[in-house]
Amino acid sequence: MKKIFIVATFLLITCLTYNVSAQILTPVHWSYAAKKINAKEAVVFMKASIDDGWHLYSQFVKDGGPVKTTFTFTPAKTYTLDGPTKEPTPITRNEKVFNMDVSFFEHEVIFQQKIKLKAGQALVKGKLEYMTCNDKQCLPPEDLDFSIPVK
């Protein structure tokens, strides 16, 4: 009887743990790359692959709307930023929940940051913040650290 109780308890805990972990939503998947243009310049790429039905907000969202995508680069002696982080043309439409026009991306978006190299190689580090929604819910903003080697 004691063994049955222990096995039943173990199975119940396993099922509860599985159900809780299965409910964590991660509709945006990030990947990173870099490409040298020449010995003194490179471009860093931050790619967001977005699950169907979800969208990721632009870097250029007005106050009062969702949290915009933001890239913060850690200063380093091996490189400097060359201009702002660029993005392709987003989809813009009115979102009732925010009562305003909002710009966002679906499926996939690649952000690009040009850098000037002070050395032959660099490690571009930073943090990105983003928010994602679908037609039923918005997830809390998420912060991710990134580290992108430029060789």
User: Is pTM, for the whole model, over 0.85?
Assistant: no
pLDDT at 97: 84
7-11, 19-23, 105-109: lowest mean pLDDT where? 7-11
Which has the closest alpha carbon to 65: 89, 86, 93, 88? Answer: 93
Local structure of 95: helix, strand or coil: strand
Beta-sheet strands, E only, within the chain: 28-38, 41-50, 55-57, 70-73, 79-81, 91-95, 100-105, 108-117, 122-130, 132-133, 142-150
| Residue ranges of domains in the chain | 28-150
Mean pLDDT of 2-21: 42
**Per-residue model confidence as pLDDT tens digits over 23-71:** 689 999 999 999 999 999 999 999 999 999 999 999 999 999 999 999 9
pLDDT band at 7 (very low <50, low <70, confident <90, very high): very low
Alpha carbon separation from 104 to 99, 129, 140 (Å, rounded): 15, 14, 16
Which has the closest alpha carbon to 79: 5, 6, 148, 19? Answer: 148
- Report the topology of domain 28-150: Immunoglobulin-like (2.60.40)
Neighbour order of strands in the sheet with 122-130: 70-73, 122-130, 142-150
**Per-residue model confidence as pLDDT tens digits over 59-117:** 999 999 999 999 999 999 999 999 999 999 999 999 988 999 999 999 999 999 999 99
- Counted residue by residue, the chain has a size of 151
